[in-house]
Amino acid sequence: MPTKMRRSLLGYLPVDSPIFSLHPMTRLLFLLIVSAYPMIVRLPELNVAGSIFMLALFRVSKVDLRVIKNYKMAFVNLFFVIAIAYTFFGGYNPDYRVLIELGPVKVCWENLRWAMVVYIQLIFAILIMIFFLSTMRERDIVVGLRALRVPFVLAYMAGLALRSIGLSIIDFNTIREAEKARALDLQALPFSEKVKKFGMYIVPLVALAIRRSDEVSNALDSRGFRFTGLKSGKRTDYILSKYRMTKLDYAVLAGMGVFLAGIILISIYTDWLALESSLLYRI
Amino acid sequence: MAEPIIRVEGLKWKYEGSRDWVLKGVDLEIHQGEFVGIVGPNDSGKTTLAMSLNGLVPNNYPGVMEGRVVVDGMDTREHSVAEIAESVGFVFPDPESQFLSMTVEEEVVFALENRGLPREEIEERMWWALELTNIPEDYLEKPPYELSGGEKQRVAIASVLAMRPKIIVLDEPTSMLDPIGKTEVIEVLTEMKRRYNATVIVIEHRLEDIAPLADKMVLVYRGTIPKVAPPREFFQDVDFLLEHDVFPPDVMVLANELRRRGLYDGPVPMTVDEAESIVRGILGRR
């Protein structure tokens, strides 16, 4: 029997994924709390451990790991951007160990080490975001925000913004196919021509976006939606009422909170999480 | 006779920047519970007339308006679209353009949440609308964008039906659908006619499907309404309709041809079955 799937912001997820046993608010707070870890912790070993933990979470939540493959070029590009940025603009100190000299540019170990530290931090952060987008639906975000007492207008706008990204990608592909059918293929053109002809994509894309916003506005009015600013007025939270916080939610939230507090306290009162504790600094 | 639920008086409308009036002094009365089919060629002003019934014209489109439209006691110039939506549900031609949520369930309850109805009532109305439009329970969690064309339009209709408006306006609800989708939507309209005693106004090109359901047919032509009549009377003069770029169903054209040849003198048939019995009658006489 085929597995029933549920559409997420970044793909599909089996309906029996354990992640769905958590309240959308817990999943939303997961993004907010766990995203703070790589921002606080610079120690590469801990961020590598975090990345491995995220991969395990992908597996446990039954997220298709192929979703990460879609971003492999982004990971590679990110590495080169960071490496180049730190190599050429990382500064120079006479204490630095020079690995290679490329004309006036000195490639130093210390700068490369910084590049690696930042890159590993970003990998952890990106994996958290991919996991979030792979397991959340627009509905979950609206419910999560409403559970956090965020005004409906803001919650709905957040959901609409996320959806509009997807719709714009669909529109862009449609325009690209239409342009190709009329013998305009940007991929086959040199870079300067690509830039010049990009307007051919942008103009219809913007026109479509304006038309879509007009249609959404008419549809909202026709369904009796009244813009009441940040006050939700008499609106009923029917969808929100279908979700209940469970002991598991409280346990996960407590675990994440305690871990975050622990990291903050350790980084303030000890040097265990300092970069000097890293193996990279012993090389 | 009872007061009409919709009264259009001398309605003239011109979109901003346009030199020509789209509607050129339209008068129309529609009564509670009537099923009205609006027909006419493209660019005749049907959609503008439909949008004037729920206040999108003049509230959401800039332009010049003369005359007035009173819907369920509300002058559309004095009430917002959201206020008029309490009485008028509107189904757009493109089902995707009217979706506001990413699951069928959210879509159907969206307007009910806006009204602040109790949860139990929202639930009851949702199931009622889904049942009327034949949408299975396991669609609730699906994104409406991923359904077939007919299913999408059924979800759109269910979302409007759940509001239980006194008036439902459907602007070419089958125009963007494949033949199966069109049939699905027509089946829903038939169910609405049978089980939901609202005023239903349908702009539709599939006359063979709408004519048997309608209590009244309205012809819109170049911004005017040259004919309003019950379906049999409306289709009686086929030549008049053809002159106004409306192509009646084949059964009516057949009856017209038989009448022209002096073989038939009765009322115009609305269905294939009625046409069959007319033909059998003629053959039987010979």
pLDDT digits over A207-218, tens only?
998 988 898 999
Counted across chains A and B, CB pairs separated by less than 8 A come out at 97
> Does residue B244 lie within any of the structural domains?
no
Q: Is the pLDDT of residue A99 over 90?
A: no
Tell me if A166 sits within 8 A of A138, measured CB to CB: no
Other Cβ atoms within 10 Å of A189 Cβ, number: 13
- The nearest CA of chain B is from the CA of A183 a distance in Å of 28
* Claim to verify: residue B187 and residue B154 sit in the same structural domain: yes
CATH code of the domain containing B175: 3.40.50.300
Helix axes B104-115, B119-132, angle to 10 degrees: 130
- Of A15, A139, A224, Cβ closest to residue B85: A224
> Does residue B1 lie within any of the structural domains?
no
B82/A221 CB distance under 8 A: yes
DSSP state of B96: G
pLDDT of A230:
60
Q: What is the mean pLDDT of chain B?
A: 92
B59/A215 CB distance under 8 A: no
- How would residue A231 be classed by pLDDT, with cut points 50, 70 and 90? low
> Which of B106, B137, B139 would you mutate first to test chain A, the one with the most A CBs within 10 A?
B106
Question: Chain A contact for B98, CB < 8 A?
Answer: yes
> Does residue B114 lie within any of the structural domains?
yes
> Does residue B39 lie within any of the structural domains?
yes
CA distance B39 to B219: 5
Residues of chain A with Cβ-Cβ distance to B108 below 8 Å are none
A7/B118 CB distance under 8 A: no
Tell me if B91 sits within 8 A of B169, measured CB to CB: yes
The bridge status of strand B224-229 relative to strand B216-221 is: antiparallel
* Claim to verify: residue B166 and residue B201 sit in the same structural domain: yes
Q: What is the number of domains present in chain B? A: 2
* Smallest CA–CA distance from A224 into chain B, residue: B82
Query: Which residue segment(s) compose the domain that B269 sits in?
Result: 249-286
- Of A15, A139, A234, Cβ closest to residue B116: A234
Measured between alpha carbons, how far apart are the two ends of chain B, in Å?
A: 46
> Cα A34 to the chain's mean position, in Å?
12
A234/B115 CB distance under 8 A: yes
Prior bond of B248 cis (ω within 30°)? no
Structure tokens that stand for A259 in this block: 């871990």
* Claim to verify: residue B62 and residue B143 sit in the same structural domain: yes
A176 torsion bin: left (phi>0), alpha (psi -120 to 50), beta (else): alpha
* Claim to verify: residue B268 and residue B219 sit in the same structural domain: no
Task: Give the 3-state DSSP-derived string for chain A, with helices as H, strands as E and coil as C.
Answer: CCCCEEEECCEEEECCCHHHHCCHHHHHHHHHHHCHHHHHCCCHHHHHHHHHHHHHHHHHCCCCCHHHHCCHHHHHHHHHHHHHHHHHHCCCCCCCCEEEEECCEEEEHHHHHHHHHHHHHHHHHHHHHHHHHHHCCHHHHHHHHHHCCCCHHHHHHHHHHHHHHHHHHHHHHHHHHHHHHCCCCHHHCCHHHHHHHCHHHHHHHHHHHHHHHHHHHHHHHHCCCCCCCCCCCCCCCHHHHCCCCCHHHHHHHHHHHHHHHHHHHHHHHCCCCCHHHCHHHHC
> Does residue B221 lie within any of the structural domains?
yes
pLDDT of A185:
77
> Does residue B243 lie within any of the structural domains?
no
- Of B56, B80, B112, Cβ closest to residue A218: B56
CA distance A217 to B134: 28
Side-chain-facing half-sphere of A20: CA atoms under 13 Å: 15
CA distance A118 to A81: 11
Q: Is the pLDDT of residue A232 over 70?
A: no
* Claim to verify: residue B113 and residue B198 sit in the same structural domain: yes
> Does residue B223 lie within any of the structural domains?
yes
* Claim to verify: residue B232 and residue B279 sit in the same structural domain: no
* Claim to verify: residue B223 and residue B286 sit in the same structural domain: no
* Claim to verify: residue B71 and residue B170 sit in the same structural domain: yes
Between A20-34, A202-216, A220-234, B257-271, the lowest mean confidence (pLDDT) is in A220-234
Structure tokens that stand for A31 in this block: 């993004």
- Give the residue carrying structure tokens 């912790």: A41
Query: For residues B13-36, b (16+ Cβ closer than 10 Å) or e, as one string?
Result: bbeeeeeebbbbebebebeeebbb
Rounded to two decimals, the ipTM of the complex is 0.86
A6/B141 CB distance under 8 A: yes
* Claim to verify: residue B231 and residue B273 sit in the same structural domain: no
Give the pTM. Answer: 0.85
Residues of chain A with Cβ-Cβ distance to B74 below 8 Å are none
pLDDT tens digits, residue range A108-163? 989 999 999 999 999 999 999 999 999 999 899 999 999 999 998 898 888 888 87
- How would residue B7 be classed by pLDDT, with cut points 50, 70 and 90? very high
* Claim to verify: residue B48 and residue B109 sit in the same structural domain: yes
* Claim to verify: residue B187 and residue B255 sit in the same structural domain: no
Residues of chain A with Cβ-Cβ distance to B94 below 8 Å are 215
B119/A239 CB distance under 8 A: no
pLDDT tens digits, residue range B100-138? 998 999 999 999 998 999 999 999 999 999 999 999 999
The bridge status of strand B6-15 relative to strand B23-30 is: antiparallel
Whose CA is closest to A120, among A33, A51, A40, A36? A51
* Claim to verify: residue B230 and residue B254 sit in the same structural domain: no
Structure tokens that stand for A54 in this block: 């995220």
Between A11-25, A213-227, B157-171, the lowest mean confidence (pLDDT) is in A213-227
CA distance B265 to B259: 6
> Does residue B196 lie within any of the structural domains?
yes
